[in-house]
Amino acid sequence: MTHPNILVSDSDGIVSIEISRRDKKNAITGDMYRAMSAALGHAREQSHVRAVLIRGQDDLFTAGNDLGDFLQRKANDPSAAIPFLHLLSAFEKPLVAAVAGNAVGIGTTLLLHCDLVYAADNAKFQLPFVNLALCPEAGSSLLLPRVAGHQRAAELLLLGEPFDATMACSAGFVNRVVPASALMDTAMAAARKLAALPAQSLAVTKALMKRPPERSAREAMDEEVVFFSDLVAAPAAKEIFAAFLEKRPPDPTKIHGHKT
Ligand code: COA
C-alpha cells in the first residue's frame, strides 16, 4: 500500500493518510487513489485502528484530480476515484480531515464524507466542475445542498469560484478554522480524542447519523457518475484540460461549439 505520493502512517490507533505530490500541487492520479483506497481498507480491517486522518501539508491540501489523467479518460474508462469514494462514504470509523491551501474539486468534495474537518486560515476551496465542462461528483450534488442549503450550494457549484475557510465553515462542512501553524496539531488532537472513545459507540453513532433521509450519497454518486463519465470525455472538457496543461486560454469555439 506504499506509494511515494501517499504517505501512510499507523500509530496510536490513528491511520494518517497524507497526500504529498508537491510539484503538482498534490493533484491526485489513479495510482494515488488506489493507494488511498488501500490505506482506507487497512484502516477498516484492523481493529486497533480507531480513527483516520486525511491531510496534505500546512500550505496545501490538493489541486484535485490530475487533469492529465482527465485528458486521457474516455467515457467508459473506470475511474480509480470511484472505489476510493465508495470506501470513504461507507467508512464506519471516524474520519478527520486537515485542510490548508488549495482544496480543489475532490479536495473539497471528499470533505463532505468526513466527520470532523479542520481548515487552516490559508485554505482556499473550489468546486470548478462546471468551469471544466464537467458536473459534480462524490455525491456533492446531494451533500452540499444538504449542509449548505440550495442557494449557497448553487453559488459554489454553479459559479465554481474559489472561497475561503470562513465561507466553508458557514457553508457547514468545516468544523473550525485555525491558524495554519496549528492545523495539524488541532486535527491530530481530535483524532486522538476519537481514538480514546468507545469504538463501538462511535461506529453506531456514525451509522445512525448517516442513515439516508431519502436518497443516499451512494445513490447520488452513482447518478452523477453517468453524466460525469460522458462529460469528461467530451470535446469541451478535453479542451479545458489541455489548455490548463499547456498554460494557454481555452479556445471558446471548442467549448461552446461556436464563436462567443
Ligand atoms: N492536475 C495536474 N497538474 C496540476 C493540477 C492538476 N489538477 N493542478 C496543478 N497542477 C500542476 C501544474 O500543471 C503545474 O505543473 P508544472 O509545474 O509542471 O507546469 C504545477 O502543478 C503547479 O501548478 P500551478 O498552476 O503553477 O500552481 P498555482 O499555485 O499557480 O495554482 C492551483 C494552484 C491549484 C490554483 C492551480 O494549479 C489549479 O487551478 N489547478 C487545477 C485545479 C483543477 O481544476 N482541478 C481539477 C478539479 S475537478
Strand 116-120 to 102-104 pairing: unpaired
Q: Please report whether residue 120 resides in a domain.
A: yes
Final residue of a structural domain among 177, 195, 213: 195
CATH number at residue 163: 3.90.226.10
Domain's final residue, options 144, 163, 195: 195
Q: Are residues 181 and 205 in the same domain?
A: no
Instruction: Retrieve residue 102's grid coordinates.
Output: 488549495
Q: Quick check: 159 and 256 in contact, CB under 8 A?
A: no
Q: Which of 175, 195, 215 is the last residue of a domain?
A: 195
Q: Is residue 139 part of a domain?
A: yes
Structural domain count of the chain: 2
pLDDT of 71-83, one tens digit each?
A: 999 998 999 999 9
- Contact 105 CB / ligand 1 (< 6 Å): yes
**Ligand 1 and 65: CB distance under 6 A:** yes
pLDDT digits (tens, 9 = 90+) for 128-172: 999 999 999 999 999 999 999 999 999 999 999 999 999 999 999
Output the domain CATH number for residue 234.
1.10.12.10
Residues 88 and 217 in one domain: no
Domain identity same for 238 and 143: no
Judgement on whether residues 184 and 221 belong to the same structural domain of the protein? no
Residue in the structure block whose three cell numbers are 481530535: 190
Q: Is the CB of 160 under 6 A from ligand 1?
A: no
Q: Which helix (H) or strand (E) holds 183?
A: helix 183-196
Q: Whose CA is nearest to atom 45 of ligand 1?
A: 64
**What pLDDT, on the 0 to 100 scale, is given for residue 258?**
56
For the entire predicted model, the pTM comes to 0.93
Q: Are residues 80 and 132 in the same domain?
A: yes
CA of 51 to the centre of ligand 1 (A): 30
User: Which atom of ligand 1 sits closest to the CA of residue 63?
Assistant: 34
Look up cell 455525491; give the residue.
Answer: 139
Domain that holds residue 41: 6-195
Which of 5, 22, 24, 60 gets mutated to test ligand 1 (max ligand atoms within 8 A of its CB)? 24
Q: Could you tell me if 186 and 219 lie in one domain?
A: no
Tell me which H or E stretch contains 161: none
Q: Are residues 226 and 125 in the same domain?
A: no
Q: Are residues 10 and 72 in the same domain?
A: yes
Residue 242 sits at the vertex; the CA angle it makes with 236 and 245, to the nearest 5 degrees, is: 145
Q: Is the CB of 27 under 6 A from ligand 1?
A: yes
Per-residue pLDDT tens over the stretch 217-229: 888 889 899 989 9
